[in-house]
Structure 1
Protein backbone atom coordinates (compact mmCIF):
# COMPACT_ATOMS: atom_id res chain seq x y z
CA UNK A 1 0.00 0.00 0.00
CA UNK A 2 1.26 3.49 -0.70
CA UNK A 3 0.43 6.41 1.55
CA UNK A 4 -1.14 8.60 -1.11
CA UNK A 5 -3.23 11.39 0.44
CA UNK A 6 -3.07 9.96 3.97
CA UNK A 7 -2.90 12.80 6.51
CA UNK A 8 -0.35 12.01 9.21
CA UNK A 9 0.68 14.07 12.24
CA UNK A 10 4.31 13.74 13.37
CA UNK A 11 5.49 15.06 16.73
CA UNK A 12 9.10 15.98 17.41
CA UNK A 13 9.33 16.63 13.68
CA UNK A 14 12.03 19.31 13.80
CA UNK A 15 14.99 16.91 13.92
CA UNK A 16 16.20 13.32 14.13
CA UNK A 17 13.67 10.52 13.77
CA UNK A 18 10.74 12.91 13.37
CA UNK A 19 12.40 14.81 10.53
CA UNK A 20 13.49 11.64 8.73
CA UNK A 21 10.02 10.13 9.12
CA UNK A 22 8.33 13.24 7.73
CA UNK A 23 10.54 13.13 4.64
CA UNK A 24 10.03 9.39 4.15
CA UNK A 25 6.24 9.49 4.43
CA UNK A 26 5.88 12.61 2.28
CA UNK A 27 8.04 10.97 -0.40
CA UNK A 28 5.50 8.14 -0.50
CA UNK A 29 2.49 10.41 -0.88
CA UNK A 30 1.44 11.22 2.68
CA UNK A 31 0.37 14.72 3.66
CA UNK A 32 2.35 15.40 6.82
CA UNK A 33 1.58 17.77 9.68
CA UNK A 34 4.81 18.79 11.39
CA UNK A 35 4.59 19.44 15.14
CA UNK A 36 7.44 20.61 17.41
CA UNK A 37 8.34 23.70 19.39
CA UNK A 38 10.88 25.07 16.89
CA UNK A 39 8.87 26.82 14.18
CA UNK A 40 11.94 27.84 12.18
CA UNK A 41 13.17 24.25 11.87
CA UNK A 42 9.68 23.06 10.92
CA UNK A 43 9.44 25.69 8.18
CA UNK A 44 12.81 24.60 6.80
CA UNK A 45 11.64 20.98 6.79
CA UNK A 46 8.38 21.95 5.08
CA UNK A 47 10.40 23.70 2.38
CA UNK A 48 12.58 20.60 1.86
CA UNK A 49 9.51 18.38 1.55
CA UNK A 50 7.72 20.69 -0.86
CA UNK A 51 10.85 21.03 -2.99
CA UNK A 52 10.65 17.25 -3.46
CA UNK A 53 6.99 17.45 -4.48
CA UNK A 54 5.49 16.55 -1.11
CA UNK A 55 2.86 18.25 1.02
CA UNK A 56 3.47 19.50 4.57
CA UNK A 57 1.72 21.64 7.14
CA UNK A 58 3.58 23.40 9.98
CA UNK A 59 1.79 23.67 13.33
CA UNK A 60 4.18 24.57 16.18
CA UNK A 61 3.24 23.14 19.54
CA UNK A 62 4.28 21.47 22.78
CA UNK A 63 3.10 17.88 23.24
CA UNK A 64 2.66 18.47 26.96
CA UNK A 65 -0.02 21.07 26.20
CA UNK A 66 -3.40 19.50 25.36
CA UNK A 67 -4.64 22.70 23.71
CA UNK A 68 -1.62 22.70 21.39
CA UNK A 69 -2.44 19.17 20.31
CA UNK A 70 -6.08 20.03 19.75
CA UNK A 71 -4.94 22.91 17.54
CA UNK A 72 -2.74 20.56 15.52
CA UNK A 73 -5.65 18.22 14.87
CA UNK A 74 -8.00 21.10 14.05
CA UNK A 75 -5.58 22.58 11.50
CA UNK A 76 -4.83 19.17 9.99
CA UNK A 77 -8.53 18.52 9.41
CA UNK A 78 -8.98 22.03 8.02
CA UNK A 79 -6.03 21.66 5.61
CA UNK A 80 -6.18 17.97 4.69
CA UNK A 81 -9.80 17.07 5.51
CA UNK A 82 -9.01 14.27 7.97
CA UNK A 83 -6.47 12.64 10.28
CA UNK A 84 -5.29 9.20 9.16
CA UNK A 85 -2.26 8.75 11.37
CA UNK A 86 -0.28 9.93 14.37
CA UNK A 87 3.42 9.34 14.96
CA UNK A 88 4.11 10.02 18.64
CA UNK A 89 7.84 10.64 18.35
CA UNK A 90 8.67 13.54 20.70
CA UNK A 91 10.81 12.41 23.63
CA UNK A 92 13.51 13.32 26.13
CA UNK A 93 16.36 11.25 27.59
CA UNK A 94 18.19 13.17 30.35
CA UNK A 95 19.66 10.04 31.94
CA UNK A 96 20.93 10.26 35.51
CA UNK A 97 21.64 8.06 38.49
CA UNK A 98 18.75 8.00 40.93
CA UNK A 99 20.82 9.19 43.90
CA UNK A 100 21.55 12.45 42.05
CA UNK A 101 17.84 13.27 42.62
CA UNK A 102 17.42 15.20 39.39
CA UNK A 103 13.69 15.26 40.00
CA UNK A 104 12.99 18.11 37.58
CA UNK A 105 14.41 15.94 34.79
CA UNK A 106 12.35 12.95 35.95
CA UNK A 107 9.19 15.04 35.73
CA UNK A 108 10.08 16.37 32.28
CA UNK A 109 10.50 12.82 30.99
CA UNK A 110 7.14 11.79 32.41
CA UNK A 111 5.50 14.91 30.94
CA UNK A 112 6.94 14.50 27.43
CA UNK A 113 7.48 10.75 27.07
CA UNK A 114 4.21 9.61 28.67
CA UNK A 115 1.78 12.51 28.95
CA UNK A 116 2.75 13.76 25.50
CA UNK A 117 1.72 10.40 24.03
CA UNK A 118 -1.54 10.42 25.99
CA UNK A 119 -2.29 13.95 24.79
CA UNK A 120 -1.70 12.94 21.19
CA UNK A 121 -3.97 9.92 21.37
CA UNK A 122 -6.77 11.83 23.09
CA UNK A 123 -6.55 14.58 20.45
CA UNK A 124 -6.73 12.33 17.35
CA UNK A 125 -9.05 9.61 18.62
CA UNK A 126 -12.38 11.37 18.00
CA UNK A 127 -11.46 11.95 14.34
CA UNK A 128 -10.21 8.40 13.86
CA UNK A 129 -13.29 6.89 15.52
CA UNK A 130 -15.54 8.99 13.33
CA UNK A 131 -13.78 7.61 10.24
CA UNK A 132 -13.43 4.03 11.57
CA UNK A 133 -9.83 4.17 10.44
CA UNK A 134 -6.39 5.24 11.53
CA UNK A 135 -2.85 4.36 12.55
CA UNK A 136 -1.12 5.30 15.79
CA UNK A 137 2.60 4.69 16.00
CA UNK A 138 4.36 5.32 19.30
CA UNK A 139 8.15 5.57 19.39
CA UNK A 140 9.15 3.62 22.47
CA UNK A 141 12.68 2.22 22.95
CA UNK A 142 14.68 -0.91 23.61
CA UNK A 143 14.76 0.65 27.09
CA UNK A 144 11.22 -0.72 27.45
CA UNK A 145 12.79 -4.20 27.52
CA UNK A 146 15.88 -3.72 29.64
CA UNK A 147 17.22 -1.43 32.34
CA UNK A 148 20.61 0.21 31.92
CA UNK A 149 22.55 2.30 34.48
CA UNK A 150 21.16 5.79 34.79
CA UNK A 151 18.06 4.90 32.81
CA UNK A 152 15.60 4.01 35.57
CA UNK A 153 13.11 6.80 34.87
CA UNK A 154 13.66 6.80 31.11
CA UNK A 155 13.20 3.03 30.94
CA UNK A 156 10.04 3.35 33.02
CA UNK A 157 8.58 5.95 30.66
CA UNK A 158 9.32 3.85 27.58
CA UNK A 159 7.90 0.75 29.23
CA UNK A 160 4.74 2.75 29.84
CA UNK A 161 4.58 3.72 26.17
CA UNK A 162 5.02 0.09 25.07
CA UNK A 163 2.28 -1.21 27.37
CA UNK A 164 -0.06 1.71 26.57
CA UNK A 165 0.40 0.88 22.88
CA UNK A 166 -0.67 -2.71 23.45
CA UNK A 167 -3.72 -1.56 25.39
CA UNK A 168 -4.62 0.82 22.58
CA UNK A 169 -4.24 -1.93 20.00
CA UNK A 170 -6.51 -4.34 21.83
CA UNK A 171 -9.18 -1.73 22.50
CA UNK A 172 -9.13 0.20 19.23
CA UNK A 173 -8.12 -2.11 16.37
CA UNK A 174 -11.00 -4.60 16.54
CA UNK A 175 -13.67 -2.00 17.30
CA UNK A 176 -12.65 1.03 15.23
CA UNK A 177 -10.11 -0.20 12.68
CA UNK A 178 -7.34 1.82 14.31
CA UNK A 179 -4.04 -0.06 14.13
CA UNK A 180 -1.38 0.63 16.76
CA UNK A 181 2.36 -0.03 16.67
CA UNK A 182 5.15 0.39 19.22
CA UNK A 183 8.56 0.96 17.64
CA UNK A 184 11.45 0.23 19.97
CA UNK A 185 14.86 1.39 18.70
CA UNK A 186 18.23 0.84 20.27
CA UNK A 187 20.97 3.45 19.97
CA UNK A 188 20.22 5.98 17.23
CA UNK A 189 22.45 8.81 16.02
CA UNK A 190 20.26 11.71 17.15
CA UNK A 191 20.62 14.63 19.57
CA UNK A 192 18.63 12.75 22.24
CA UNK A 193 21.70 12.47 24.49
CA UNK A 194 22.21 16.25 24.42
CA UNK A 195 19.81 16.63 27.37
CA UNK A 196 22.04 14.60 29.73
CA UNK A 197 23.44 16.72 32.57
CA UNK A 198 24.83 13.93 34.79
CA UNK A 199 28.60 13.94 34.18
CA UNK A 200 28.97 10.31 35.32
CA UNK A 201 26.44 9.23 32.70
CA UNK A 202 28.16 11.25 29.97
CA UNK A 203 31.37 9.35 30.69
CA UNK A 204 29.63 5.98 30.47
CA UNK A 205 27.86 6.94 27.24
CA UNK A 206 31.14 7.65 25.46
CA UNK A 207 31.78 3.94 24.86
CA UNK A 208 28.37 3.42 23.30
CA UNK A 209 28.86 6.35 20.96
CA UNK A 210 31.96 4.68 19.51
CA UNK A 211 29.91 1.88 17.92
CA UNK A 212 27.99 2.20 14.67
CA UNK A 213 24.53 3.27 15.74
CA UNK A 214 21.27 3.27 13.85
CA UNK A 215 20.44 6.28 11.69
CA UNK A 216 17.17 8.20 11.94
CA UNK A 217 16.31 6.93 8.46
CA UNK A 218 16.35 3.35 9.76
CA UNK A 219 13.54 4.19 12.16
CA UNK A 220 11.68 6.11 9.45
CA UNK A 221 11.83 2.95 7.33
CA UNK A 222 10.31 0.96 10.21
CA UNK A 223 7.49 3.50 10.52
CA UNK A 224 6.84 3.28 6.79
CA UNK A 225 6.83 -0.52 6.98
CA UNK A 226 4.15 -0.49 9.68
CA UNK A 227 2.01 2.05 7.84
CA UNK A 228 2.25 0.39 4.43
CA UNK A 229 0.74 -2.95 5.45
CA UNK A 230 -2.74 -4.04 4.30
CA UNK A 231 -5.45 -2.95 6.73
CA UNK A 232 -5.85 -6.54 7.97
CA UNK A 233 -2.26 -6.45 9.27
CA UNK A 234 -1.31 -4.78 12.55
CA UNK A 235 2.43 -4.65 13.26
CA UNK A 236 2.40 -4.78 17.06
CA UNK A 237 6.07 -4.15 17.86
CA UNK A 238 9.21 -3.36 15.91
CA UNK A 239 12.33 -3.98 18.01
CA UNK A 240 15.29 -2.61 16.05
CA UNK A 241 18.86 -2.30 17.34
CA UNK A 242 22.32 -1.69 15.85
CA UNK A 243 24.14 -4.85 14.81
CA UNK A 244 26.97 -4.00 17.23
CA UNK A 245 24.76 -3.29 20.24
CA UNK A 246 24.64 -6.03 22.88
Structure 2
Protein backbone atom coordinates (compact mmCIF):
# COMPACT_ATOMS: atom_id res chain seq x y z
CA UNK A 1 0.00 0.00 0.00
CA UNK A 2 1.44 3.34 -1.05
CA UNK A 3 1.50 5.99 1.65
CA UNK A 4 2.23 9.65 2.27
CA UNK A 5 2.97 9.02 5.95
CA UNK A 6 6.09 10.89 6.97
CA UNK A 7 6.48 12.90 3.74
CA UNK A 8 7.52 16.53 4.22
CA UNK A 9 5.86 18.79 1.66
CA UNK A 10 6.16 22.55 1.09
CA UNK A 11 3.44 24.18 -1.03
CA UNK A 12 3.36 27.61 -2.64
CA UNK A 13 0.10 29.42 -3.32
CA UNK A 14 -1.52 27.53 -0.46
CA UNK A 15 -3.95 30.21 0.74
CA UNK A 16 -6.83 28.83 -1.35
CA UNK A 17 -7.88 26.73 -4.31
CA UNK A 18 -5.60 23.91 -5.40
CA UNK A 19 -2.84 24.77 -2.90
CA UNK A 20 -5.15 24.71 0.10
CA UNK A 21 -6.88 21.52 -1.06
CA UNK A 22 -3.50 19.86 -1.57
CA UNK A 23 -2.28 20.83 1.89
CA UNK A 24 -5.42 19.52 3.55
CA UNK A 25 -5.44 16.23 1.63
CA UNK A 26 -1.76 15.48 2.12
CA UNK A 27 -2.00 16.24 5.84
CA UNK A 28 -5.00 13.93 6.21
CA UNK A 29 -2.96 11.19 4.53
CA UNK A 30 -0.05 11.56 6.94
CA UNK A 31 2.28 14.13 5.39
CA UNK A 32 3.65 17.16 7.20
CA UNK A 33 2.94 20.30 5.20
CA UNK A 34 4.34 23.82 5.13
CA UNK A 35 1.89 26.24 3.54
CA UNK A 36 3.15 29.40 1.89
CA UNK A 37 1.50 32.39 0.23
CA UNK A 38 1.46 36.17 0.52
CA UNK A 39 -1.67 36.14 2.73
CA UNK A 40 -0.16 35.32 6.10
CA UNK A 41 -3.37 35.36 8.13
CA UNK A 42 -5.04 32.97 5.70
CA UNK A 43 -2.29 30.34 5.65
CA UNK A 44 -1.92 30.61 9.44
CA UNK A 45 -5.63 29.82 9.79
CA UNK A 46 -5.45 26.86 7.40
CA UNK A 47 -2.37 25.44 9.14
CA UNK A 48 -4.06 25.86 12.51
CA UNK A 49 -7.14 24.02 11.25
CA UNK A 50 -4.99 21.14 9.99
CA UNK A 51 -3.27 20.87 13.38
CA UNK A 52 -6.62 20.93 15.18
CA UNK A 53 -7.62 17.92 13.07
CA UNK A 54 -4.50 16.05 14.19
CA UNK A 55 -2.26 16.85 11.23
CA UNK A 56 1.16 18.46 11.07
CA UNK A 57 1.33 21.88 9.44
CA UNK A 58 3.31 25.10 9.52
CA UNK A 59 3.01 28.37 7.59
CA UNK A 60 5.49 30.72 5.96
CA UNK A 61 4.69 34.01 4.22
CA UNK A 62 6.21 33.90 0.74
CA UNK A 63 6.15 35.96 -2.44
CA UNK A 64 7.45 33.50 -5.06
CA UNK A 65 8.80 36.33 -7.22
CA UNK A 66 11.39 36.95 -4.49
CA UNK A 67 14.12 34.30 -4.48
CA UNK A 68 14.98 35.00 -0.85
CA UNK A 69 11.38 34.26 0.17
CA UNK A 70 11.41 30.86 -1.52
CA UNK A 71 14.79 30.02 -0.01
CA UNK A 72 13.31 30.91 3.37
CA UNK A 73 10.39 28.53 2.70
CA UNK A 74 12.79 25.65 2.09
CA UNK A 75 14.89 26.60 5.12
CA UNK A 76 11.78 26.84 7.31
CA UNK A 77 10.63 23.41 6.15
CA UNK A 78 14.02 21.84 6.89
CA UNK A 79 14.25 23.60 10.28
CA UNK A 80 10.74 22.50 11.25
CA UNK A 81 10.80 18.89 10.05
CA UNK A 82 14.45 18.01 9.33
CA UNK A 83 14.19 17.78 5.54
CA UNK A 84 12.04 18.62 2.51
CA UNK A 85 10.78 15.71 0.43
CA UNK A 86 8.54 17.61 -1.99
CA UNK A 87 8.13 21.17 -3.20
CA UNK A 88 4.78 21.84 -4.86
CA UNK A 89 5.05 24.91 -7.10
CA UNK A 90 1.41 25.95 -7.21
CA UNK A 91 1.45 29.76 -7.10
CA UNK A 92 0.17 31.24 -10.36
CA UNK A 93 -1.78 34.13 -11.85
CA UNK A 94 -3.71 34.63 -15.09
CA UNK A 95 -4.26 38.30 -16.03
CA UNK A 96 -5.07 37.12 -19.54
CA UNK A 97 -6.26 39.31 -22.41
CA UNK A 98 -5.87 39.45 -26.20
CA UNK A 99 -2.34 40.27 -27.31
CA UNK A 100 -3.73 43.31 -29.13
CA UNK A 101 -4.57 44.85 -25.75
CA UNK A 102 -0.82 45.20 -25.18
CA UNK A 103 -1.10 44.52 -21.46
CA UNK A 104 2.65 44.42 -20.99
CA UNK A 105 2.31 44.73 -17.21
CA UNK A 106 0.11 41.64 -17.14
CA UNK A 107 2.57 39.77 -19.35
CA UNK A 108 5.45 40.66 -17.03
CA UNK A 109 3.45 39.64 -13.96
CA UNK A 110 2.69 36.21 -15.43
CA UNK A 111 6.33 35.69 -16.32
CA UNK A 112 7.38 36.75 -12.82
CA UNK A 113 4.94 34.55 -10.91
CA UNK A 114 4.31 31.58 -13.19
CA UNK A 115 7.81 31.08 -14.57
CA UNK A 116 10.30 32.96 -12.43
CA UNK A 117 8.45 31.86 -9.29
CA UNK A 118 8.85 28.23 -10.35
CA UNK A 119 12.54 28.77 -11.15
CA UNK A 120 13.01 30.31 -7.71
CA UNK A 121 11.56 27.07 -6.34
CA UNK A 122 14.07 25.02 -8.32
CA UNK A 123 16.95 27.18 -7.12
CA UNK A 124 15.83 26.91 -3.50
CA UNK A 125 14.94 23.22 -3.37
CA UNK A 126 17.53 21.59 -5.60
CA UNK A 127 20.50 22.09 -3.24
CA UNK A 128 18.46 20.62 -0.37
CA UNK A 129 17.35 17.66 -2.50
CA UNK A 130 20.95 16.98 -3.55
CA UNK A 131 22.27 17.31 0.00
CA UNK A 132 19.77 14.82 1.41
CA UNK A 133 19.96 12.45 -1.58
CA UNK A 134 16.34 12.68 -2.73
CA UNK A 135 13.57 15.11 -3.56
CA UNK A 136 10.53 15.66 -5.73
CA UNK A 137 9.56 18.81 -7.62
CA UNK A 138 5.86 19.07 -8.50
CA UNK A 139 4.54 22.02 -10.53
CA UNK A 140 0.94 22.90 -11.28
CA UNK A 141 0.95 23.79 -14.97
CA UNK A 142 -2.17 23.98 -17.18
CA UNK A 143 -3.86 22.34 -20.14
CA UNK A 144 -3.93 25.89 -21.55
CA UNK A 145 -0.43 25.19 -22.80
CA UNK A 146 -1.54 22.09 -24.68
CA UNK A 147 -4.19 23.88 -26.74
CA UNK A 148 -3.68 27.64 -26.93
CA UNK A 149 -6.96 29.55 -26.90
CA UNK A 150 -7.54 33.23 -27.74
CA UNK A 151 -6.37 35.57 -24.96
CA UNK A 152 -4.23 32.78 -23.48
CA UNK A 153 -1.00 33.26 -25.47
CA UNK A 154 1.30 34.64 -22.78
CA UNK A 155 -0.27 32.58 -19.97
CA UNK A 156 0.16 29.43 -22.08
CA UNK A 157 3.73 30.44 -22.88
CA UNK A 158 4.64 30.67 -19.20
CA UNK A 159 3.09 27.28 -18.51
CA UNK A 160 4.86 25.67 -21.47
CA UNK A 161 8.12 27.19 -20.26
CA UNK A 162 7.57 25.49 -16.90
CA UNK A 163 6.93 22.23 -18.76
CA UNK A 164 10.24 22.67 -20.60
CA UNK A 165 12.16 23.35 -17.40
CA UNK A 166 10.69 20.19 -15.89
CA UNK A 167 11.81 18.10 -18.85
CA UNK A 168 15.28 19.64 -18.68
CA UNK A 169 15.55 18.89 -14.97
CA UNK A 170 14.38 15.34 -15.59
CA UNK A 171 17.09 14.73 -18.18
CA UNK A 172 19.69 16.14 -15.80
CA UNK A 173 18.51 13.95 -12.91
CA UNK A 174 18.99 10.42 -14.21
CA UNK A 175 20.98 9.56 -11.08
CA UNK A 176 17.60 9.06 -9.40
CA UNK A 177 18.00 11.80 -6.81
CA UNK A 178 15.38 14.25 -8.10
CA UNK A 179 11.94 13.36 -9.47
CA UNK A 180 9.76 15.81 -11.37
CA UNK A 181 6.01 15.92 -12.02
CA UNK A 182 4.07 18.49 -14.04
CA UNK A 183 0.33 18.46 -13.34
CA UNK A 184 -1.90 20.25 -15.84
CA UNK A 185 -5.43 21.06 -14.66
CA UNK A 186 -8.27 22.03 -16.94
CA UNK A 187 -11.15 24.09 -15.58
CA UNK A 188 -11.08 24.00 -11.77
CA UNK A 189 -13.42 25.93 -9.47
CA UNK A 190 -10.92 28.41 -8.00
CA UNK A 191 -10.59 32.19 -7.85
CA UNK A 192 -8.04 32.27 -10.69
CA UNK A 193 -10.43 34.33 -12.82
CA UNK A 194 -10.11 37.17 -10.29
CA UNK A 195 -6.64 37.93 -11.71
CA UNK A 196 -7.91 38.26 -15.29
CA UNK A 197 -7.74 41.83 -16.51
CA UNK A 198 -10.18 41.81 -19.45
CA UNK A 199 -13.79 41.93 -18.12
CA UNK A 200 -15.36 39.83 -20.89
CA UNK A 201 -12.68 37.14 -20.59
CA UNK A 202 -12.99 37.18 -16.81
CA UNK A 203 -16.76 36.75 -16.90
CA UNK A 204 -16.63 34.00 -19.52
CA UNK A 205 -14.02 32.12 -17.50
CA UNK A 206 -16.07 32.40 -14.33
CA UNK A 207 -19.19 31.09 -16.07
CA UNK A 208 -17.25 28.19 -17.57
CA UNK A 209 -15.68 27.31 -14.23
CA UNK A 210 -19.08 27.36 -12.55
CA UNK A 211 -20.64 25.25 -15.29
CA UNK A 212 -18.03 22.52 -15.71
CA UNK A 213 -15.14 23.07 -13.30
CA UNK A 214 -13.93 20.21 -11.14
CA UNK A 215 -13.17 20.78 -7.45
CA UNK A 216 -9.61 21.63 -6.38
CA UNK A 217 -9.52 18.33 -4.47
CA UNK A 218 -9.41 16.50 -7.82
CA UNK A 219 -6.04 18.10 -8.57
CA UNK A 220 -4.89 17.50 -5.00
CA UNK A 221 -5.51 13.78 -5.50
CA UNK A 222 -3.29 13.86 -8.58
CA UNK A 223 -0.52 15.47 -6.53
CA UNK A 224 -0.91 12.80 -3.87
CA UNK A 225 -0.79 10.03 -6.48
CA UNK A 226 2.46 11.37 -7.94
CA UNK A 227 4.33 11.81 -4.68
CA UNK A 228 3.22 8.60 -3.01
CA UNK A 229 5.00 6.47 -5.63
CA UNK A 230 8.14 4.60 -4.56
CA UNK A 231 11.46 6.30 -5.19
CA UNK A 232 12.20 4.38 -8.39
CA UNK A 233 8.94 5.51 -10.05
CA UNK A 234 8.48 8.95 -11.59
CA UNK A 235 5.11 10.22 -12.77
CA UNK A 236 6.29 12.78 -15.30
CA UNK A 237 3.04 14.47 -16.31
CA UNK A 238 -0.64 14.29 -15.44
CA UNK A 239 -3.56 16.07 -17.12
CA UNK A 240 -6.62 16.54 -14.90
CA UNK A 241 -9.70 18.13 -16.44
CA UNK A 242 -13.47 17.88 -16.49
CA UNK A 243 -14.75 14.95 -18.50
CA UNK A 244 -16.85 17.34 -20.59
CA UNK A 245 -14.02 19.77 -21.35
CA UNK A 246 -13.11 19.82 -25.06
One fold, TM greater than 0.5? Answer: yes
User: Smaller-chain TM-score range?
Assistant: over 0.9
Superposed counterparts of 1:193-204, under 5 Å = 193-204=193-204
TM-score of the superposed pair, with normalisation by structure 1: 0.96
What's the RMSD between the two structures over aligned residues? 1.2
Aligned partner of 1:187 in structure 2 is 187
Map Cα deviations across residues 49-82 of structure 1 (whole Å, 9 max, x no partner): 1111111111101000011111111111111111
Aligned partner of 1:61 in structure 2 is 62
Superposed counterparts of 1:75-224, under 5 Å = 75-172=76-173, 174-205=174-205, 208-224=208-224
Aligned partner of 1:42 in structure 2 is 43
Map Cα deviations across residues 12-54 of structure 1 (whole Å, 9 max, x no partner): 0000000000011111111111110001100110111111111
Structure 1's unaligned 5+ residue stretches are none
Partners in 1 of 2:74 and 2:171 — Cα distance? 24
Q: How many residues align?
A: 245
Partners in 1 of 2:135 and 2:81 — Cα distance? 14
Q: Does 2:223 match 1:227? A: no
Deviation of residue 240 (structure 1)? 1.3
Structure 2's unaligned 5+ residue stretches are none
Query: 1:213·1:242 contact (CA, 8 Å) conserved in 2?
Result: yes
Partners in 1 of 2:23 and 2:206 — Cα distance? 29
Partners in 1 of 2:48 and 2:16 — Cα distance? 14
Q: Does 2:231 match 1:238? A: no
Instruction: Identify which range, 71-80 or 116-125, moves more after superposition.
Output: 71-80
